[in-house]
A and B are shown apart, each in its own frame.
Chain A
Amino acid sequence: MQAVVDSSFYSDGARCRNCHDLNDALKSTGPTLTDIRKKYERRSEMLTHILKPSLKVDEKFAMWVVITKTGRGYSGLLVSQNDEAIVLKTADRKTVRVARSQIDVMQKSSQSLMPEGILSDQTAQEAADLLAWFSSEGN
């Protein structure tokens, strides 16, 4: 069976890896794989949240949309805020600081930063294999 999977899948996996490190939260835009495994003990539950990332978005991973008074828009995770400014981490992992005085609209989106349909290109077997790996202690 090993032959079925070859290195050419590199970029399919990168789809997850792009935002989820195995266990290093600093390298992860979303929760780490280890966190995810602990959070969803049942495969069915984990799969549900992979298929519908916006079903429940952890406060920490909610997407915020900020529009400035000059009409520029930013979206990303709200990583910090104080009276003067807010800091967003965008999907391309850049941090953007926006002065509060410049903010026209600031809204929390009900959408997850994680794209929909992430498994759409996988065969059922590949998806089952990925799910098995995400659930396994070894990851």
Chain B
Amino acid sequence: MVFAARRRVVIGGVVFFFGVFYGTILDTNTLTAADGPRPAWTTSKISGTPTPPAPYAIRPVFPNVSFRNPTSLEELPGQRMLVGELDGSVYTFDKNNQTQPKELLLKIDDVKLWHVTAYLQDGGSWQLIACYSTDDTSYVSRFNVEGVKADPQSEDIILTWPAGGHNGGCLQFGTDGMLYISTGEGSGPHPPDGRTAAQDVSNLFGCVLRIDIRRGENGKNYTVPPDNPFINLDGARQEIWSYGLRNPWKFGIDSKTGNIFAADNGWESWEMVHQIVRGGNCGWPIMEGRAVLRSEVKQGPTPIRPPVKYHSHTEANSVIGGPVYQGAKLPALDGTFIYGDYITGTIWGRKSDGGDSYTHSTLVDTHQRIIAFAEGSAGELFVIDYDFTGRIYELVPSGLEDRSADFPQRLSETGLFTSLETMAPAPGVVPYDIIVKRWVDGAATKRWVAIPDSGAISLATAKKTAVYPEGTVFVKHLTLSEADELRSPQPLETQILHYENGSWHPYSYLWDEERTDAVLVDAAGTDRQLNNTVQATNRQDTDTEERTWHVSAENECRLCHNAGSDFVLGFVPNQLNIVQPVSSERNSAQLKQLAAQKVINSVRQLASDSPGRLVDPHDETQSLNDRARSYLHGNCSSCHHPGGNAIVSFYLRRDLPFEGLRTNKGTGVGTFGLRNAKLIVPGDPYRSVLLYRMAKLGYARMPYIGSHVVDGSGVDLVEQWIKSMPHSDSDQDSSPIQDGSRDQRNLQVVSQFNSPGNSEREIQQSTRQLLESTEGALALSVLMHRGFAVGANRSMAYETSNGDVRGLSETFIPEKQRRKTLGRNIDPKTVLSIDGDAGRGRLIFL
């Protein structure tokens, strides 16, 4: 007999498993009086981080003002702050009076405003200098200011040059009284330096300019200082102070030494910090950072000066210059050029130590989109966010002492459990359960919430986000069943999510094989080979399997636990809303209990018709629609929600109506050979890319983080759900597997493989035909997940060389027998050390 007999139903196992949890939730904890408040949790040793904390932090200031795409920030005389916005609005506000709103100083219409700065006059008055671009021209202009209003009619244009792409636009007065202006190379990002202008000093592109606006001459509203470097060079623009820049968005001037530092945005590989000196050639586009880029470009009149600091694009993506800090508030930063990154949110400091040597340090990693810095008159170092919050922040010492050595390296040291053998929680640590547990490759999960002392959580409501006490810890413990049912499940990982100083930190402790303790995993994650005793998944031939268990890297954790998903995914009302099956009243038993235990502040009962209401996906007494939608919510919606980080915008949140999921379309990453495919084709699972991607391993597998084994019961559920939906009439004919079709008959043959009427040969023939198309292979794999036609089908399906089909059957093959592909973490050397053949590459591509 080629086909193995149908084995025990995995789905049943999972149902059983969930059942156990509901039953035990009340009696595995240390609370005997289930309705009384929990004892205080006093044993927490989880505090700080395992790595040294950042020396600085940012804190929001000026709570009553925020901006829409601000581009520059500075303090005015009289303790008012000046902020320009991209759309040409310029605001001021009182730095010390928090109740005063911001006031519109000026609106320049139909421009992109890059920077505004004050030009101080004798007697305490000032003029506004603005740099902005229209579609084709960049301007530096001045406006008269009376009180808190600038007069738009008073515009006096000082300087213009052509606009386009990178315009720079930073304005700073030097210690010499001159106005310094940065300009970009005037092109878009690609090709690099499209005008080939940055090395050409006959134009104003890619420069820091230096002009004197105190008086005009020769019909201009400025003069060129006589010590500018190219004043006597034929054909050169006399305004140029330094050149060879790409897009020096912001620069800072040292008020003591007059030294100028610019943060220049590189192209593909590098970000640069340049010291701007008289006549200095910063190298773009001949050089990008430390790499030669366009060697064919004619070099400008002076030698290229390398940047004084560069960052590869793994560290920075768009650097933003700040001041050379001189204030009294942060003495350690005295004389330090402050700069940050718009994309990564990191802030650095670079301080010259004399000569070429310097000290460089990371000051803090923020979650902000840094667009500008400013130093305040009281020594404040301000940072403004472009579009995450549009708010102003102040850099302050984090005050966090380095207690990284005290961070618990072992689970036994965390103070969460009194016994790891029985996983007995410490007094005050409370177990809870959730309705939809995400598939974690066959592992069972248990959860606890630990709140220091007697704190309580305020769960989110429609209007308010949740509030967690400092030091709150959520614990998720993962175990895998052993094939030998007499052995207790094997502990794998205990994951924690820790709240401190306003942010959430994910950690994982990996258990040793002796099951005695678990050790904190590095932020980069790790892999552990599981010994050959755990229960096999997905009906492989044997009862046990060897496989690799991946502990997520911190960044992988954050792909789901992030600001967009409000960080905490399980301890939320619709997941906690477990109604005890035995209860006669339909009330929220678990929420009530958590409130009685004073873990949460109050019970917010979920209405039974609440659109976000979840059910256990494996509870067959619930409707198929509720089960499938709950499954997709729990497994997919932390990325697939409006504003989430999924590439294709469709949503799987339970509270949205089906039409709101936006699944009636294709996907950007292809259809894998499925004909007439959409994300979900109601009535037709085998044309539904969603089902295909959750049924496969390898490229385009979903979910692509946190799971590396196909959830057979999930595939089964989602297939049934899609099939149960009414087919739209217009769609029916395009279905590749229709009633009476060859593949439909083949599926019948396979699903009745142990009926006496079907010969082995017939079954093999049907399997082969099904594997000819991705739709057929998908339908076959669903049958295999249900336990039909395993055995020889497995290898037959796998051996087919079509990658789209192979991905579907890979999960049925033991890990060691799979084709050795590059996998997700690819070391470039493994590819670069092999000579490729362009001819074969072409065949793969075409």
Q: List the interface of chain A (C-beta within 8 A of B).
A: 1-2, 4-6, 8-19, 29, 31, 35, 39-40, 43-45, 47-49, 51, 55-56, 58-60, 63, 65, 67, 71-76, 90-94, 105, 107, 109-111, 113, 115-136, 138-139
Contact = CB atoms under 8 A, between A and B. Distances in A.
B670 interface: yes
A93 B670 CA distance: 11
Contact of B643 (A73, A90, A117, A122): A73
A47 to B, nearest CB: 5
B842 interface: yes
A15 B267 CA distance: 26
B698 interface: yes
A124 B834 contact: yes
B152 interface: no
B69 to A, nearest CB: 10
A60 B188 contact: yes
Given A94-B665, A132-B837, A109 B645 contact: yes
A117 B699 contact: yes
B639 to A, nearest CB: 11
Contacts of B841: 129-134, 136
A73 B651 contact: yes
Most chain B beta-carbon contacts within 10 A, residue among A59, A63, A126, A136: A126
A11 B700 CA distance: 12
B189 A59 contact: yes
B807 A5 contact: no
B828 A48 contact: yes
B224 to A, nearest CB: 33
B649 A130 contact: no
A55 B844 contact: no
Contacts of A4: 840
B826 A119 contact: yes
B673 interface: yes
Nearest to A139: B842
Nearest to B666: A92
B844 A13 contact: yes
Given A39-B268, A115-B647, A51 B800 contact: no
24 contacts: A5-B844, A8-B800, A19-B668, A31-B190, A43-B832, A55-B314, A56-B317, A59-B190, A60-B190, A91-B669, A93-B668, A105-B643, A110-B317, A113-B668, A117-B704, A120-B823, A121-B698, A123-B822, A126-B840, A129-B838, A129-B844, A131-B836, A133-B841, A138-B838
B816 to A, nearest CB: 16
B831 A131 contact: yes
Given A44-B828, A58-B190, A127 B269 contact: no
Nearest to A15: B670
Contact of B803 (A65, A110, A121): A121
A44 B838 CA distance: 16
B755 interface: no
Most chain A beta-carbon contacts within 10 A, residue among B387, B647, B774: B647
B802 interface: yes
Contacts of A126: 840, 844
B310 to A, nearest CB: 14
A16 B807 CA distance: 18
A115 B700 contact: yes
A136 B267 CA distance: 23
A90 B831 contact: no
A31 to B, nearest CB: 8
Interface of A is mostly: mixed
A8 B801 CA distance: 6
B698 A55 contact: no
Most chain B beta-carbon contacts within 10 A, residue among A59, A75, A76: A75
A29 B834 CA distance: 30
Given A120-B698, A134-B841, A128 B670 contact: no
Contacts of B642: 67, 71-73
B269 to A, nearest CB: 7
Contact of A124 (B268, B314, B649, B830): B830
Given A56-B317, A119-B822, A75 B828 contact: no
Interface in B794-837: 800-804, 807, 819-824, 826, 828, 830-832, 834-837
A39 B673 CA distance: 31
Contacts of A71: 642
Instruction: Identify the 4 closest CB pairs spanning chains A and B, nearest first.
Output: A91-B668, A133-B841, A132-B836, A128-B836
A46 to B, nearest CB: 10
Interface string B369-413: 000000000000000000110000000000000000000000000
Contact of B667 (A1, A91, A105, A123): A91
Contacts of A60: 188-190
A135 B341 CA distance: 32
Nearest to B806: A121
B708 to A, nearest CB: 11
Interface in B636-653: 642-643, 645, 647-649, 651
Nearest to B646: A75
A62 B314 CA distance: 17
Given A111-B645, A120-B823, A121-B821, A9 B832 contact: no
A122 B826 CA distance: 11
A15 B643 contact: no
Contacts of A65: 643, 649
Contact of A123 (B387, B647, B820, B837): B820
B846 interface: yes
Contact of A5 (B267, B317, B669, B840): B840
A9 B805 CA distance: 11
B313 interface: yes
Contacts of A13: 843-846
Contacts of A134: 841, 845
A65 B843 CA distance: 36
Contacts of A43: 832
B672 interface: yes
Nearest to B840: A129
A123 B821 contact: yes
Contacts of B666: 92
A129 B669 contact: no
Given A125-B836, A129-B837, 8 more contacts: A8-B803, A13-B845, A35-B190, A55-B313, A65-B649, A92-B648, A129-B840, A135-B838
Contact of A128 (B649, B662, B831, B845): B831
Contacts of B670: 11, 14-15, 18
A43 B667 CA distance: 29
Nearest to B668: A91
Interface string B763-789: 000000000001000000000000000
A16 B118 CA distance: 52
A92 B668 contact: yes
B157 interface: no
Contacts of B269: 45, 56
B343 interface: yes
Contacts of B700: 115
Contacts of A139: 838, 842, 845
Contacts of B821: 120-123
Contacts of B828: 44, 47-48, 51
A43 B843 CA distance: 19
A63 B645 CA distance: 11
A75 B649 contact: yes
Contacts of A40: 268
Contacts of A67: 642-643
A130 B704 contact: no
A133 B836 contact: yes
Contacts of B824: 116-117, 120
Contacts of A122: 821-822
B813 to A, nearest CB: 14
B110 to A, nearest CB: 9
A2 B804 CA distance: 21
A8 B268 contact: no
Contact of B802 (A8, A39, A76, A123): A8
A11 to B, nearest CB: 5
Most chain B beta-carbon contacts within 10 A, residue among A2, A19, A92, A139: A92
